[in-house]
C-alpha cells in the first residue's frame, strides 16, 4: 500500500513540475496545488500506513500514530490559503496586464 501512495506522490510531483514550467499563471497555480497534495500524501506515509486502534492510552493493542494526521490537517489549511491567494493574484495579473502569460509581464522597472 505504501508503494502505491509513494507512486502517486511521484506522479503528482511530475505533473506539478510540468505545470509550474508552463507559461500561463493559472497552470502554475494548479501545479503548485498538485505539489501541496503530494506533500500532504508524503506526510501521511511518514507515520506508516497500518490498521490499528485509536491512539488512546487505555488501549494496549498497536495504535495508529495520530501526529501525521494533525500535521496534514495544518498543512491542508495552509496550502488552501496559499492556493486561494495565488489564484486571486493570477486573476489580478490578468486584469492589470490583460494576459496571464508570465513572459508578458513587463513594466514598473523604473
Q: What residue ranges bind another protein (CB under 8 A)?
A: 20, 25, 28, 32, 35-36, 38-40, 42-43, 45-48, 67-68, 71, 74-75, 78, 81-82, 85-86, 89-90, 92-93, 96-97, 102, 105-110
Residue 8 vs 86, nearer CB to another protein: 86
Residue 11 vs 67, nearer CB to another protein: 67
Q: Minimal distance in Å, beta carbon 11 to another protein?
A: 15
Residues 6+ apart with CB under 8 A from 18: 31
Q: Are 76 and 40 in contact (CB under 8 A)?
A: yes
Q: Minimal distance in Å, beta carbon 102 to another protein?
A: 7
Phi-psi region of 107 (alpha: psi -120 to 50; beta: other; left: phi over 0): left
Q: Rounded to an integer, what distance in angstroms lies between the CA atom of residue 105 and that of residue 103? A: 6
Amino acid at each position: 500500500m505504501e508503494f502505491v501512495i509513494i507512486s502517486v506522490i511521484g506522479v503528482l510531483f511530475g505533473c506539478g513540475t510540468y505545470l509550474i514550467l508552463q507559461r500561463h499563471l493559472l497552470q502554475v497555480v494548479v501545479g503548485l496545488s498538485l505539489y501541496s497534495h503530494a506533500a500532504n500524501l508524503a506526510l501521511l506515509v511518514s507515520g506508516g500506513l497500518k490498521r490499528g486502534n485509536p491512539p488512546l492510552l487505555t488501549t494496549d493493542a498497536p495504535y495508529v500514530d495520530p501526529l501525521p494526521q494533525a500535521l496534514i490537517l495544518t498543512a491542508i489549511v495552509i496550502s488552501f490559503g496559499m492556493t486561494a491567494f495565488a489564484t486571486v493574484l493570477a486573476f489580478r495579473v490578468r486584469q492589470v496586464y490583460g494576459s496571464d502569460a508570465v513572459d508578458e509581464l513587463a513594466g514598473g522597472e523604473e
